Amino acid sequence: MTLTRRSFLAGTGAGALAALAHPIAASARGLLTDPTLDAVIERALSAATRAGATYADVRVVRQQREALYAREDKLVGVESSDSYGIGVRVLAGGAWGFASTPRVTPAEAARIATAAVGVARANAKLLRTPVVLAPEPAHVDVWQTPMTKDPFKIPLEDKVDLLLALNREVMAVPGVRFAASFHEATSEWKRFASSEGASIEQRIVRIGPGYEATAIDDKLGTFASRAHDLPPRQAGWEYVTDSSLLADARRIGQEAVEKLRAPSVTAGPRDLVIAPSNLWLTVHESIGHPTELDRALGYEANFAGTSFATPDLLHKLQLAAPHLTFYADKTTPGGLATCGYDDDGVATQRWNLVERGVFVGYQTTREQAAWIGEPRSRGTAYADGFGAFPFQRMPNVSLAPGARTRSLDDLVAATDDGILIIGRGSWSIDHQRKNFQFGNQLAYEIKRGRRTRMLKDVAYHASTIQFWNACDLVGGADSWELGGAMADGKGEPVQLNPISHGCPPARFKQIDVVNTGRP
Partner 1 sequence: MLLQAKARAITGRVLARIAKTAGATARVRLSSTRGGYTRFAVNTVTAAAETEDVTLSVTIALGQRAAEAATNQLDDGALDDVVARALRFARLVPENPEAMAPLGAQRYGKGPTADPHTARAAAVDRAPLAQVALDQARAAKVTIAGFIEHAHESISLASSAGLWAHHESTRGAASCSARTPDATGAGWAGAVAHRLVDLDGAALARVAIDKAQRSAQPKKLEPGRYTVILEPAATASLVSFVIGALDAREADEGRSCFSTPGGGTRIGEKLFPDTIVLRSDPTDAPLGARPFDDAGVPLAPRTWIDRGALTGLVTDPYWAQHQHRAATGAPNGWSLAGGGSTREALIAGVKRGVLITRFWYLGLLDPRTLAATGLTRDGVFLIEDGAIAGPVNNFRFNQSALDVLASCDALGQTAITRVDAGFPFRAPWLRTHDFNLASISEAV
Smallest gap from residue 437 Cβ to partner 1 (A): 5
Smallest gap from residue 371 Cβ to partner 1 (A): 10
Q: Which of 75, 246, 370, 487 binds partner 1 (CB under 8 A)?
A: 75
Q: Which of 40, 164, 397, 470 binds partner 1 (CB under 8 A)?
A: 164
**CA–CA dist 99, 86 (Å, integer):** 8
395-422 burial code (b ≥16 CB/10 A, e <16): bbbbbbbbeeebebebbbebbeebbbbb
Residues 9-68 that bind partner 1 (CB under 8 A): none
* Binding of residue 494 to partner 1 (CB under 8 A): yes
Q: Which is nearer to partner 1, 151 or 387 (CB)?
A: 387
**Which of 90, 62, 275, 293 has the alpha carbon at shortest distance from 188?**
62
Q: What is the DSSP string of 241-272?
A: HTSSTTTTHHHHHHHHHHHHHSPBPPPEEEEE
Q: Which of 370, 431, 487, 496 binds partner 1 (CB under 8 A)?
A: 431
Q: Which of 250, 261, 323, 461 binds partner 1 (CB under 8 A)?
A: 461
Q: Which of 13, 52, 106, 118 binds partner 1 (CB under 8 A)?
A: 118
Smallest gap from residue 96 Cβ to partner 1 (A): 5
Piece of the chain touching partner 1 by CB under 8 A; list 155-163, 194-202, 235-243, 472-480: 155-163
Q: Which of 100, 167, 282, 291 binds partner 1 (CB under 8 A)?
A: 100
Residues 6+ apart with CB under 8 A from 426: 437, 438, 439, 459, 516
**CA–CA dist 237, 209 (Å, integer):** 10
**CA–CA dist 280, 283 (Å, integer):** 5
* Binding of residue 488 to partner 1 (CB under 8 A): no
Smallest gap from residue 11 Cβ to partner 1 (A): 14
* Binding of residue 274 to partner 1 (CB under 8 A): no
Piece of the chain touching partner 1 by CB under 8 A; list 13-21, 37-45, 124-132, 471-479: 124-132
Smallest gap from residue 421 Cβ to partner 1 (A): 15
* Binding of residue 178 to partner 1 (CB under 8 A): yes
Contact status, residue 319 vs residue 464, Cβ threshold 8 Å:
yes
Piece of the chain touching partner 1 by CB under 8 A; list 153-161, 372-380, 397-405, 477-485: 153-161
Smallest gap from residue 178 Cβ to partner 1 (A): 7
Residues 277-316 that bind partner 1 (CB under 8 A): 297-303, 305, 308
β-bridge pairing 176-194 and 140-144? unpaired
Contact status, residue 427 vs residue 439, Cβ threshold 8 Å:
yes
* Binding of residue 93 to partner 1 (CB under 8 A): no
Q: Which is nearer to partner 1, 334 or 439 (CB)?
A: 439
Residues 6+ apart with CB under 8 A from 382: 337, 342, 343, 390, 391, 393, 495, 497
Q: Which of 259, 378, 434, 507 binds partner 1 (CB under 8 A)?
A: 434
Contact status, residue 381 vs residue 346, Cβ threshold 8 Å:
yes
Is the dihedral angle over the CA atoms 347, 383, 288, 302 positive or is it negative? positive
Q: Which of 5, 251, 323, 376 binds partner 1 (CB under 8 A)?
A: 5
Residues 6+ apart with CB under 8 A from 378: 328, 346, 349, 351, 361, 362, 363, 364, 365, 369, 395
Q: Which is nearer to partner 1, 83 or 405 (CB)?
A: 83
Residues 330-389 that bind partner 1 (CB under 8 A): 387, 389
Q: Which of 54, 123, 148, 331 binds partner 1 (CB under 8 A)?
A: 123
CB atoms within 10 A of CB 188: 20
Smallest gap from residue 515 Cβ to partner 1 (A): 9
Site string for partner 1, 387-416 (x = CB under 8 A): x-x-x-------------------------
Q: What is the DSSP string of 426-487?
A: -EEE-TTS-EEEE--SEEEEEETTEEEEEEBSEEEEEEHHHHHHTEEEE--GGG-EEEEEEE
Piece of the chain touching partner 1 by CB under 8 A; list 93-101, 234-242, 274-282, 476-484: 93-101
What letter would DSSP give residue 409?
Answer: H
Contact status, residue 283 vs residue 503, Cβ threshold 8 Å:
yes
Contact status, residue 457 vs residue 515, Cβ threshold 8 Å:
yes
Q: How big is the site for partner 1, counted in residues (CB under 8 A)? A: 86
Smallest gap from residue 461 Cβ to partner 1 (A): 6
Q: What is the DSSP string of 42-64?
A: HHHHHHHHHTT-SEEEEEEEEEE
Contact status, residue 57 vs residue 195, Cβ threshold 8 Å:
yes
Q: How many H-runs (helices) and E-runs (strands) does the chain carry?
A: 10, 25
Piece of the chain touching partner 1 by CB under 8 A; list 90-98, 184-192, 327-335, 337-345: 90-98
Site string for partner 1, 185-214 (x = CB under 8 A): -----------------------------x
Site string for partner 1, 213-242 (x = CB under 8 A): -x-x-xxxxxx-------------------
Residue 375 CA from chain centroid, whole number:
27
